[in-house]
Structure 1
Amino acid sequence: MSCIMVLAEHRQGNLRDITFELLALARNLAEPMKLKVNCLLLGKDNEALAQNLTNFADEVTSVTAEILANFNSEIYRKVITRIAKEHKPSLILIGHTAFGIDLAPGLAYELNLPLITDCIEVLHENNKLVMTRQVFSGKLNARMRFKTESGVLTIRAGTFKPTAPQREASIERSEMNRKGTIVESALGGLSPELLTGYASNFLGYEEAPTTGIDITKADIIVAIGRGIKEQKNLPIVEELAKTIGGELACTRPVIDAGWLPKDRQVGSSGKTVKPKLYIALGISGAFQHISGMKQAQTIVAVNKDPNAPIFSVAHYGIVGDLLKIVPTLSEKIKEIGLK
């Protein structure tokens, strides 16, 4: 076992945030395990991305080919399998994203390795890795271990905070200003002919319609869930957001109902936000939503259910009907001139 391998995720020439989160986790685990961090990058034009990744990994394995320009799980799985068999990593880290959910099961099967998905914590305890994932819709945390010496993990986005580049964060003085190396690999030793004839093809990216507002940059967010009940009640929360200078956001059910555009969604299938203030109105607190907002500095929750999971992450909570509480809150804020 030689390394912890991180699969870099990128889109249209930009590395995704999850890549740096995985590299931070890998670095934390690699030190007590005395392993190196290897970042595997597949793509068409890798030079700039690979150079960036050397700030965070000991080694960047770069596989460059036209056929790898866009993600295709069948092709990526074939290439990654070959490279993983050469490196024999102790652990393979993949983001629990659309990319990872599609890729990880088949990759684990090809490598004959166990797979634990959607991990929210990975610890090194008594020379063993202990993974935590949520079960029963986030009501319980399950701690798991591999029975084998190595395995594959998918990690929930937003769970781990990216750290400084290793040349800045290294403890050893001799390590300061050290960057990782780049190793070029030609399709993982596979000929292009072996990477054709698959059932799936990349067609293109279709961006969701946007309102021109980026909620990830908002200092204050007012978010709504099923508790809003009907679309006609939206003006109530819109008034609160306007009063405190915040942006309106929501959970997936509100998007599915067509009440707000997709770019307003917070959660694992939406956006991850880190505002100074997050007001959750009528949101029960499914883990998919919590994963996208739990890093807010201050969280205020309003829900009729005193046992709603959202209260477990909220700093302040109000048990009650948002349709009665929010109008009163807006009026009081206007009275004292708070904004």
Structure 2
Amino acid sequence: MSDVLAVTDHRRGELRDVSYELITAGRELADATGGALHVAVISGTVDEFAEKLDREGVDTIHTVDHGEEFNHDVYTQTVTQLYDELAPQYVLAPNSVNGLDYAPAVANQLDLPIVTDTVDLEADGDSLTATREMYGGKVETTAELSGDAVVTIRGAEWPAAEGTGDASIEAFDVDIDEDAVGSTVTGFEEVGGGDVDISEADVLVSVGRGIEEEENLEIIRELADALDATVSSSRPIVDNGWLPKNRQVGQSGKVVTPDVYVAIGISGAVQHVAGMKGSDTIVAINTDPNAPIMDIADYAIVDDLFDVVPALTEEFQ
């Protein structure tokens, strides 16, 4: 029997979606190893977070009340001490900015192997097969690990844990060496036109190179207004300078999981699909019935976007 420790993620007072996905991934591993799933929430309003994280499948939630926001040294020291206390076989972290900050340091201090950006995990006894994607999602590779390991998981690859749990919530008394804490978060500043966070949107209207010209974006904005949605895009639109970088969906942009994703004039290259395939409902509008986006769309409209989009806008207005 081997336990699993999943370290959750939060930012500016909100748990990130990947926290609930970590619970799902962790529960699958714990079931395979016959162990328990431990969930850690570090810093912030930990008691409030713990209540939200008490989902089906969680055995114990460990709260660490130290500071409000992410700090590299605090997380590294805390996760290392939790590992020493709980002796889990696997430490799971999000493949986020925060996770990729402390997970390698934890692995280094504990002298453990680390695999990042995994999209699938399969445990068999003391061995773990971790699947990653390479070359823009065109190739899958596997890493075979034995013994303990640190793993980061890609967001939107596992479903979010649901249901109501009955976890034991325990405060973990971490011994932080304050002399080793070399940084402090003093605030946040959005970079690169950070007017919105598309990863938090419930409905996204996303546009690709099929829009042809920048001035044609106006009909996309009108549809988004009618749907109370947020405008996003594929990479060519950002490369052209028509929308800011923070609006880009895809492997080199943001991973999004909205309730509805409307893809307009987007062919569906693997790099783009990697960023939006976790959407609940995908609507594609494209003149090419064989475009890759059509293969994953729940609803496909094969027609000229310049006819379809204004008609949809009128209908929803």
State TM-score, norm by structure 2: 0.80
Once the two structures are superposed, what CA deviation does each residue of 1:97-147 show, in whole Å capped at 9, x if it has no partner?
11112222222111211111111122345774322211011111223321x
1:52 counterpart residue number: 52
2:157 counterpart residue number: 159
Q: What is the one-letter code of the residue matched to 1:117?
A: T
CA distance in 2, matches of 1:277, 1:191: 43
Q: Aligned in 2, Cα 1:298/1:52: closer, same or farther, shift over 3 Å?
A: closer
Percent identical among aligned pairs is 26
**Gap regions ≥5 residues in structure 2:** none
Q: What is the one-letter code of the residue matched to 2:205?
A: V
SS in 1 for 2:304: helix
Deviation at 1:159, TM superposition (A): 1.4
Q: Map of 1:178-193 to 2, 5 A cutoff?
A: 179-187=166-174, 190-193=175-178
SS in 2 for 1:118: strand
CA distance in 1, matches of 2:247, 2:211: 15
Equivalenced residues, count: 312
CA contact (8 A) 2:119 2:157 kept: yes
| Aligned counterpart for 2:201 among listed residues 195, 216, 222 | 216
Q: Aligned in 2, Cα 1:247/1:185: closer, same or farther, shift over 3 Å?
A: closer
CA distance in 1, matches of 2:188, 2:60: 30
CA distance in 2, matches of 1:192, 1:115: 25
1:175 counterpart residue number: none
SS in 1 for 2:269: coil
Higher mean alpha-carbon deviation, 27-36 vs 55-64, is at 55-64
SS in 2 for 1:98: coil
Deviation at 1:287, TM superposition (A): 3.5
CA contact (8 A) 1:216 1:271 kept: no
CA contact (8 A) 1:222 1:246 kept: yes
Deviation at 1:93, TM superposition (A): 1.0
CA distance in 1, matches of 2:47, 2:197: 32
2:186 counterpart residue number: 203
CA distance in 1, matches of 2:14, 2:188: 14
Deviation at 1:255, TM superposition (A): 4.4
Once the two structures are superposed, what CA deviation does each residue of 1:180-225 show, in whole Å capped at 9, x if it has no partner?
22232222xx3544433x2x4323122464369997222xx43113
| Aligned counterpart for 1:260 among listed residues 243, 248, 252 | 243
Higher mean alpha-carbon deviation, 128-137 vs 233-242, is at 233-242
CA contact (8 A) 1:311 1:317 kept: yes
State TM-score, norm by structure 1: 0.76
Deviation at 1:309, TM superposition (A): 5.4
Q: Aligned in 2, Cα 1:70/1:311: closer, same or farther, shift over 3 Å?
A: same
Once the two structures are superposed, what CA deviation does each residue of 1:54-73 show, in whole Å capped at 9, x if it has no partner?
445211222222xx322122
CA contact (8 A) 2:281 2:298 kept: no
1:122 counterpart residue number: 121
CA distance in 2, matches of 1:276, 1:191: 43
CA contact (8 A) 2:62 2:172 kept: yes
Higher mean alpha-carbon deviation, 231-240 vs 6-15, is at 231-240
CA contact (8 A) 2:77 2:176 kept: no
SS in 2 for 1:144: strand
**Gap regions ≥5 residues in structure 1:** 168-178
1:99 counterpart residue number: 98
Q: What is the one-letter code of the residue matched to 1:270?
A: K
Q: Aligned in 2, Cα 1:301/1:129: closer, same or farther, shift over 3 Å?
A: farther
Deviation at 1:239, TM superposition (A): 5.8
1:144 counterpart residue number: 143
Once the two structures are superposed, what CA deviation does each residue of 1:26-84 show, in whole Å capped at 9, x if it has no partner?
1122123211011112115422223433445211222222xx32212233212211221
Q: What is the one-letter code of the residue matched to 2:280?
A: A
2:282 counterpart residue number: 298
Deviation at 1:20, TM superposition (A): 0.9
Q: What root-mean-square deviation, in Å, do the aligned CA atoms of Structure 1 and Structure 2 show? A: 3.6
CA distance in 1, matches of 2:9, 2:40: 9
SS in 1 for 2:93: strand
Once the two structures are superposed, what CA deviation does each residue of 1:260-285 show, in whole Å capped at 9, x if it has no partner?
35664444653623334522423543
CA contact (8 A) 2:91 2:151 kept: yes
Deviation at 1:298, TM superposition (A): 3.4
